[in-house]
Structure formats: structure tokens, C-alpha cells
Amino acid sequence: MATHDYNIANGSGAAVRSDINDALLAISSNNSATNPGPSTTYAYQFWADISTGKMRIRNSDNTAFVELFNLDGTSLPSSSATEVVFNDAGADLDFRIEGDTEANLFFLDAGNDRVGIADSGPDFDLDVNGDIGIREDNNLTFHDGTGTAAFRIRGTSDNKLFFERASGNEHQMVIDDGNVGIGTTTPSVKCHVQDDSLTSTTSGTNVVARFQTNGTGYDASILLGDAVSTASRIGQINGNITFHPGSATERVRFDGSGNVGIGTTSPHALTGYTVLTLNNSSQGGAIEFKKDDTSYGRLLQGSSSVILETKQNIPLIFGTGTSSTERMRIASNGVTTIAAAVSGGTQGVIVNTTTYSPAFYIRGDGGIGNYSGNNVNLSDRNVKKDIALVAGTWDCLKEWEIVNFRYKDQSDDADLSMGVIAQQVAESCPEVVTVFQEAKEATETEPAQEERIGIKEQQMMWMAIKALQEAQVRIETLEAKVAALEAN
């Protein structure tokens, strides 16, 4: 057993002679070695593989060894061999058989483990570029790898194509002159589904499906039922899907844009929206909400209005967000609560109807209007704690600068407003200044937002009243002093 890298290194005479002898020994023994063979390889190099007993030669690309013959002198395969193996080493070496005019009559793609028939670039394990012929009344059989058949396809001499299980229920699907039969060997329409073993009268249990043109304008339809006049249908016309329960009359339609019409053949279309249209020539459309056959609410069309109502004395709730956070509630007695999460808690607005209209409204400029200034703040002693008299506010109040101004988004000829500047008030009375708008960084859908501060005007009102009380005390003190001076 001898191999050599065939590189004679410089050295003394004895060392060089020994290196040359080793190289000659490797040559004379055909680089005999066990697998994986010589460590240094060259194109067209021989290798006596004593592991497998085969003579091999290196290919021209110096990428793999190719088998030549057995080391015992017999050819490949030997007379005692039970199989013929090509490319036993598993090299990425394609194999091709040419025909008279087809260069790739048989092509083996070794790198991808695929076989092509008239195809030099097979995309599947077996890729055929041409017709495949199977004599009639013979099967194309699918099996489990041990010879046990599971499914087969067969074309017969009477021009039928059978798809069937290899055992049990045969003729599971038949194609006969363009008609497809499932459960029958004599389909009479384009698609005929039949199961004579079913006897249940429960709706949806027995299935008979037919696809056919019926001459009433439908491109195709499915007929459910054994009598045409009372059968239900699912149809397709001009790209629309139609449903006809119990008769040929259309009751539901899905149009090509996804709009749905119930009771109409013309679902309403609204650009940018998917629309559900409910129609009835008597009263109109309605949606009923039930649980265990008990009605809890409905949306319906009145004589001149659209009505959304609840039943069972339950409220009507409107929510937003992925968690359906409650934003508005209409109780069964008509009281409406509008709630929105704000800094420091949840603030609600309750609106009751009165004989005055409107009793309460929000103005376009952000102000609030109501009937006769009927604002009420809860001030009962029983709901307050930490009650203490306010210290003097005179020194704070006298620092306020009362100014006239317009907001930047108002026109130049808008009426001047009177008020204060929050930053100036904060210098002397920071307790009445608060964040009106929090700062936010820009997102993909919203621009950046700067912080804006506001003032607590009601607190300022009470501070002004306190300062007025202090002024009244000072006035009364001065009046007493003046009266005393005048008496003297």
C-alpha cells in the first residue's frame, strides 16, 4: 500500500533517493490505498482502491475518481455481481443517452438526483418532455413502495377514464365523453355526484351536485335537490355569484367587487368600500342580533329612518381600538355617556334631552354651549377630603398679565380674545399651569407633535375670588382707619 504526493524535495543524496523510491513504489502499485485514496490527486491519476477492490482513474477536472474494473481482473460487473452500479462513488457526474435525433433521449442529472426524458434540465425526479403512452385497459398505479397498490388511473377501450382505489370502492371518479361522474359510472351532466347509500332526510347530509348551463342566462350553476322547480341553486353570471334558495328566484348576490346584495340583484357600489345591501320591497332591510334564539338587538330601516335598537333592557355600547375600549354608552333609559381616556383618569359626559334644543353642544371653535349656563360642579362636603383654607393669592394674582390676542390659525380680522399667556402665569403661579398637548415623536402615519401647555381657568377664577376677598378686607380696614381719622 503506497501513495505519494510526487513532489521530490531537496535533500541529501540518500534522502532524495529514498523519496524517489517511494514515488516509484506509488506509481508501480497504482497508488494503492484504502478509502478515501491518495491525499494529493491529479487529473488522470490511477488509484487501486483496496477497500472496495476496484481500479479507479481521476477525471479530467480532478474532482472525482471513476471506476475502471475490479482489482481481481474481472470486468465491471463481474459474473457473480447481482447489480450494475454507475457512479458508485456518488460523484456529481451527469449521464446521457442520445437517440437518432434527440441528444438527451435519456438524461440523468446527478447533482440534483433527477431524470429527464428528452430534457437536459429536469425540474422533477422524473421530467418528460413529450408524450407518454399507456396502452388502454392498463393502469397507472400508485403504491406504498412494497408493491401494495393504493390508487390507480386507467383508460378503457370504451373511451372512459377511471380514477379508483386499488381495493374497496372502485370507479370513484369517471370521465366519460366530457362528463365527470363521482360515485357513478354513467355521468349525464358535466359534473354528476351520486351516493346511493345515503338515505338521511337531514338537510345537507345527502349530496347531489350538478354543473350545467340551464338556458336562463347563467354561465354555470349548481343544482341542489331532485326537482328542478323546488331545487336551490348557486349560480354564476357575468362574474357575480348568485344564490337561489328553493326556487329559481335570486335572493343573494356577491358581485365581482366583493359587494353583497340580499333581496336585490344590484348590490350598491361605493368607491373604496365593500358594501352590504339589504332590500325588501315591503319594509326594507334589517339585521337581527340573537343569542340562543333570543333577540338582543336589531338594525332596521324605518318608514323614513334607520333604527339601531337593543332588547332585553341592555345598553348600546360603542367601542374603539383592538381591545374594543368603550367610548360611548346609550342606556336603556336613553341616558348617553361619552367617555374618553385622558391624563389622570376617565372623564365622562352625560347628555339628557330637554324641551330646549340644543340643550348641550360642542362648538366648531372648541367651545361648549348649553342652555342658560347650567354648568354644575360637584362640591358636596361629603365627597371631599383634605379640606383647608387657601393661603393668600394676592401676590400671585397681581403678577398676571392680561393680554388681547388671536390664535395663529385665526384670520387677521377675527375678534381679539382676552386672556393670559401660560408661560407668563407659570412664573408666579405654576400650580394653575398644566400640559394641554403632550409631545410625540413622528411615526409612519403621524407627524411629530410639540408640547403645548394650558391653564386651569376655573382654579384661576377661585384664586381671583380669594384675592377679591383679601382686597375687601384691606378696603374695610382702610375704611375703618379713614373713619377714625375723620372722627378725630
pLDDT for the residue 367:
66
* Cβ burial, residue 268 (10 Å; 0-12/13-18/19+): middle
For the four alpha carbons of 146, 148, 151 and 155, in that order, the dihedral sign comes to positive
d(CA 55, CA 74) in angstroms, rounded, equals: 11
Last residue of a domain, one of 93, 118, 134: 93
Q: Domain check: are 83 and 58 in the same one? A: yes
Check pLDDT > 50 for residue 363. Answer: yes
User: Does 53 map to a domain?
Assistant: yes
Q: Are residues 391 and 480 in the same domain?
A: yes
In this prediction, residue 33 has a pLDDT band, given cuts at 50, 70 and 90, of confident
72 within domain boundaries: yes
pLDDT at 149 over 60: yes
Whether 253 is in a domain gets the answer no
Residue 477 in domain = yes
- The tens digit of pLDDT for each residue in 258-268 reads 999 999 999 99
Examine residue 139 and state whether it is found in any structural domain, yes or no: no
What is the domain range of residue 40? 13-93
Domain shared by 407 and 473, yes or no: yes
| Same domain membership, residue 49 and residue 17 | yes
Residue 402 in domain: yes
* Claim to verify: residue 390 and residue 365 sit in the same structural domain: no
**Main-chain phi, psi angles of 193, to 5 degrees:** -110, 130
Q: Give CA–CA dist 266/285, Å, rounded.
A: 14
Percent of the chain with pLDDT over 90: 28
Indicate whether 347 and 400 sit together in one domain. no
Domain identity same for 393 and 480? yes
User: Are residues 479 and 400 part of one domain?
Assistant: yes
- C-alpha 257/C-alpha 117 separation (Å) is 46
| Helices and strands (DSSP H and E) totals, the chain | 4, 33
pLDDT above 70 covers a percentage of the chain that reads 85
Domain boundary among 93, 111, 139: 93
pLDDT value of residue 259 = 94
Same domain, 83 and 64: yes
Q: Cα dist. 330→165, 294, 308, 333, 347 in Å?
A: 63, 21, 11, 8, 16
**pLDDT tens-place string over residues 179-226:** 888 778 788 888 787 777 766 666 555 555 554 555 555 567 777 877
The SS3 assignment for 375 reads coil
- Average confidence score pLDDT of the chain: 82
Question: Is 168 a member of any domain?
Answer: no
How far lies 340's CA from each of 365, 369, 456, in Å? 20, 20, 20
Q: Return the CATH number at 392.
A: 1.10.10.10
Strand partners for 57: 46, 66
Provide the strand spans (E) within 101-148. Answer: 106-109, 114-117, 126-128, 139-143
The answer on 413 and 329 residing in a single domain is no
Distance CA 269, CA 360 (A): 37
Q: Closest Cα partner for 291 from 322, 308, 319, 312? A: 312
394 and 483: one domain? yes
Q: What is the pLDDT of residue 341?
A: 37
Residue 148, pLDDT > 60, answer yes
How many domains is the chain built from? 3
Q: Is 81 domain-assigned?
A: yes
394, 372: one domain: no
